[in-house]
Amino acid sequence: MFQETSLLKFHKQMNSREVSKYNRSLWVSMSYRKGGHMTQKRSVVPDKVTVKGKTETINFDEIGITNDFMFGTVFRDKEKCKELLQRILKIRLAEIEVVEPQKVMKTTLIGKGIRIDIYAKDSEGNVYDIEMQTTEETDLHLRTRYYHSEMDSYQIRAGQKYFNLKQSVVIFICTFDPFADDRSIYTFETTYKENKGLVLADKRRTYFVNIKGNREGISEDTTKLLDYFKTGQPTDSYTESIQNEVELIRDDNDKCIKFSMKT
């Protein structure tokens, strides 16, 4: 005979309308007697989540690093975020000072706000927006323009000189090829149309990462990272540390309940 814990009782107290409204998955911890001892067993009921009119079933035992909740939770860790940036951007960073998952930016009352998967700032004040993109959308290039603008508005205050603006980097990690050119990394910056060698030093750069792209010219470390995003199989100590964190989060009932409420 199963004995209900407080978590199950809490869910039973919620009426069906509340469950539907918040899309809460039912993470149930049940106590039962086996061999004369009380043991714990977790039962997972996959949740149905509606995203942009499409209903999907989420099984928390299977979601991987390309899920935006999982991505944001794992890379809120400063060292993991730092190494991610170093491998994609091919730079060395002294330190990442700020990492905020799901950061909301809205500069005007009537203007459109944005929610950034991972917002990071390094020790020199340069800012980074890192997005995990699994849905093929036709407006990604325009989203990057708006994201850059919102990030810039947070960099300097009234009366400060424009020279105080730091580097603004937007990175979209895509599970598809956004430009159908079979590259792993697409890098965009502002150039002079009549002379491609002349770059406008506006300190703004945009990267689209295609995890399924050709690995030619891509470093071994970056290849291992992109392969992990593609397959979910770690091949070095860094990707193993990411996968270990993914598995810990899957077993964390509190985090998964927060995820179901967020969606």
pLDDT over 50 (residue 22): no
Confidence of residue 77 (pLDDT cuts 50, 70, 90): very high
For helices 237-250 and 220-231, angle between their N-to-C axes, nearest 10 degrees: 30
- 171 part of a folded domain: yes
Average pLDDT over residues 75-84: 95
**What dihedral angle (degrees, nearest 10) is formed by the CA atoms of 23, 114, 85, 75?**
-30
37 & 56 share domain: yes
CB proximity list for 84: less than 8 A, separation 6 or greater? 75, 130, 225
CATH code, 153:
3.40.1350
Q: What is the pTM of this model?
A: 0.73
Long-range contacts of 72-77 (CB under 8 A, 24+ apart): 72/101, 72/102, 72/117, 72/118, 72/132, 73/101, 73/245, 73/249, 73/255, 74/242, 74/245, 74/246, 74/249, 75/99, 75/101, 75/118, 75/130, 76/100, 76/101, 76/118, 77/245
* Residue that terminates a domain, selected from 24, 40, 63: 63
Looking at the structure, tell me whether residues 52 and 145 fall in a common domain. no
What pLDDT does 138 receive? 87
- The DSSP secondary-structure symbol of 112 reads P
Indicate the number of domains in the chain: 2
* pLDDT at res. 198: 95
Query: Which of the two residues, 19 and 44, has the higher pLDDT score?
Result: 44
Domain that holds residue 47: 3-63
Q: Is the pLDDT of residue 4 over 60?
A: no
pLDDT in tens, 229-240: 999 999 999 999
Residue with the larger pLDDT of the pair 107 and 81: 81
CB 207 within 8 A of CB 169: yes
- pLDDT confidence of residue 261: 47
Return the C-alpha torsion angle 186, 130, 94, 166, nearest 10. Answer: 80
Q: What is the mean pLDDT of residues 74-99?
A: 94
Residue 243 lies in a domain: no
Position 250 scores a pLDDT of 87
Beta bridge pairs of residue 110 = none
Both tokens assigned to 208: 């689209």
